[in-house]
Structure 1
Amino acid sequence: MTPEEFSETLSQLGWKQSDFCRMTDTDKNTPSRWVKGHTSIPGWVPRFLAMALEIRRLAALIEPPKG
């Protein structure tokens, strides 16, 4: 996962970096290091984010229509 893909996926989820940190018990400075390219993004991160996107997709299937 590239830094751009990481940022884009957070955006798709409507998450800030602080939200990601809270949900993954990650140090608050870690995502900034990834986005700036100072450290590489670990392999578990794209899997975690893919799971979150899939959960969001599935949840939308069972939510009642608005209106």
Structure 2
Amino acid sequence: KLGEEVAAAIVLKTKHQLTEQELKEFLRNKLAPFKIPQTIIFLDEIPKGKTGKLQRLGLAKTLGLE
């Protein structure tokens, strides 16, 4: 939809490090500018419900996109 923001929730592998700036620089070489996330947050794990499914609303709230 027009006007929607692109956001990313990143879970890094153990002992890996990455900054928001490093990720955006990498993505600039791979994606069109409008596809690069405006908001990037790093999480320990993606929120999942009791059934193991991704909690989209909880994730959107965490990203500040609700």
TM-score band, normalised by shorter chain: under 0.3
TM-score by length of 2: 0.25
TM-score by length of 1: 0.25
Larger helix percent: 1
Larger strand percent: 2
